[in-house]
Amino acid sequence: MTNTWIPIVYDSLPYTKAIRSNPWFNFNGKPVLRTVEIHQASKKEGIFYTLAALFLLLALVRASFARYFQNLFAVFFRASMKQKQIREQLLQTPLASLLLNLLFVATAGLYAAFILHHRMETRSGQFNFWLLYGYSVAAVAALYVGKFFLLKMLGWTLRMEQTTDTYIFIVFLCNKVLAIFLLPLLLVAAFASPGLVTIAMTISYVLVIGVFLYRYISSYGYINREVRTSRFHFFLYLCAFEVAPLLLIYKVLLKFV
């Protein structure tokens, strides 16, 4: 008994005809060679979680101390005529003030780390971002803690406690508001395209300069009512105790970190 092979014409099969007539799949088309590139992770998970923690801290303060949050912006934008009364209410909520001060230190440190890290990458290649962030946070914290105790000591020595306390209040008020406004810009600077990063950083520079000018004008207006001083002398104080320490920290970090 011999085996007989019957050839099958696949083109005539209903299955083949159904596949060929399918409008959604090109089964009989010419194969296309596709090259698949391995995804390179950006290694920004740590920055993402850091920003998420900062936004969470801001949300907790906003949810737990809604009245404090409202009064903070009312005093900053001078939206109420009862400035002194609102300021006293802010001083009566030390926990919210402490949390926002911590938010400022962490946010300002991250902002400084972004700037310094970009400068160091363009100059000397890769650098440990988290080490730079730790140094930046420590520098900002040391700067403002030292400024706080120095102003307290000057106020006690010169018997001007009320004046120095008001100046300290204005300084830390501006810091809190600056941190709140910087957070969204840092989010864009961390994950957006290079064009948007440039725009976000430019806006942040304008914002920082604007807040410092506002702090100068507000502080001088109050101090001039309490202690007669010229704008030039007050400007010298700002250069010595506000601008010079920041520039010194910046140069030290660039040189030794």
Q: How far apart are CA 85 and CA 88, in angstroms?
A: 5
Say how many CA atoms lie within 13 Å of 36 toward its Cβ: 1
Q: What's this model's pTM, rounded to 2 decimal places?
A: 0.75
The domain segmentation of the chain, as residue ranges, is 46-256
| DSSP secondary structure, 105-166, as one string | HHHHHHHHHHHHHHHHHHHHS---HHHHHHHHHHHHHHHHHHHHHHHHHHHHHTT-HHHHHH
Q: How far apart are CA 223 and CA 190, in angstroms?
A: 39
pLDDT at position 18 is 74
Helices and strands: H and E segment counts in the chain: 10, 0
pLDDT at position 185 is 94
Q: Is 102 helix (H, G, I), strand (E, B) or coil?
A: helix
Check if the beta carbon of residue 238 is closer than 8 Å to that of residue 216.
Answer: yes
List the chain pLDDT tens, one digit each, 257 residues: 556 666 666 666 777 777 777 777 776 777 777 777 776 666 788 899 999 999 999 999 999 998 998 888 888 887 554 567 777 788 888 899 999 999 999 999 999 999 888 777 656 556 788 888 998 899 899 988 988 898 888 888 878 788 788 888 888 999 999 999 999 999 999 988 888 999 999 999 999 989 988 888 887 776 666 666 666 666 776 676 667 666 676 666 666 55
Total count of residues recorded for the chain: 257
pLDDT at position 181 is 95
- Spatial neighbors of 78 by CB under 8 A, at least 6 apart, are none
Q: Is 227 helix (H, G, I), strand (E, B) or coil?
A: coil
Check if the beta carbon of residue 61 is closer than 8 Å to that of residue 103.
Answer: yes
Q: How far apart are CA 174 and CA 230, in angstroms?
A: 23
pLDDT at position 8 is 64
Q: How far apart are CA 58 and CA 186, in angstroms?
A: 14
Tokens standing for residue 4: 């007989």
Q: How far apart are CA 141 and CA 223, in angstroms?
A: 25
DSSP letter at 12 equals G
CA dihedral sign, ordered 113, 114, 115, 118:
positive
Rg of the Cα trace of the chain? 30
Q: How far apart are CA 233 and CA 11, in angstroms?
A: 96
